[in-house]
Amino acid sequence: MPPRFLLALTLLLFTAWAHAVECDSATDQSSMNQCAAQQSKAADKELNAHYQQITARLKDSPDSKKLMVSAQRAWVAFRDAECTFSASGVEGGSVYPLIYSNCITELTKARVETFKNYLKCQEGDLSCPVPGV
């Protein structure tokens, strides 16, 4: 590898590490907003991973898969509307992105827990909509 590449890679990794440390001690509004947005994206990534696992398990049941897709779309619309309402008291203010992102993260993490429970279903459990493995 060329030395310049290694230097660039080292700088990139250090910058990413330094940025991650900043979130633990963010004190200005811009940094707090950015950190909250990152947490929201991380929660959404986890949600999507579980969603993909669930829809994969439903591949042999097109009707159930269609219901899951519909439920998830409705849930996303609810989450977004709920968080817009929840943050409406500070709309237009510099703290709005923080409040909105924190709400998105909280509701998304709750949905992740629901998905985790779906993925724990045992074969033969009629109360669970996702087939066990």
Q: What is the pLDDT of residues 33-56, one digit of tens each?
A: 999 999 999 999 999 999 999 999
Which pLDDT belongs to residue 21?
41
What confidence tens digit (pLDDT) does each residue in 80-124 have? 999 999 999 999 999 999 999 999 999 999 999 999 999 998 888
Task: Give the number of other Cβ atoms within 10 Å of residue 61's Cβ.
Answer: 14
Q: Give the separation between CA 35 and CA 21, rounded to whole angstroms.
A: 10
Task: Spell out the residues 6+ positions from residue 57 whose beta carbon is closer than 8 angstroms to its own.
Answer: 119, 130, 131, 133
SS3 for 40-64, per residue?
HHHHHHHHHHHHHHHHHHCCCCHHH
User: Domains (ranges, CATH) in the chain?
Assistant: 30-119 (1.20.1270.180)
pTM (two decimals): 0.80
Task: Spell out the residues 6+ positions from residue 46 whose beta carbon is closer than 8 angstroms to its own.
Answer: 108, 112
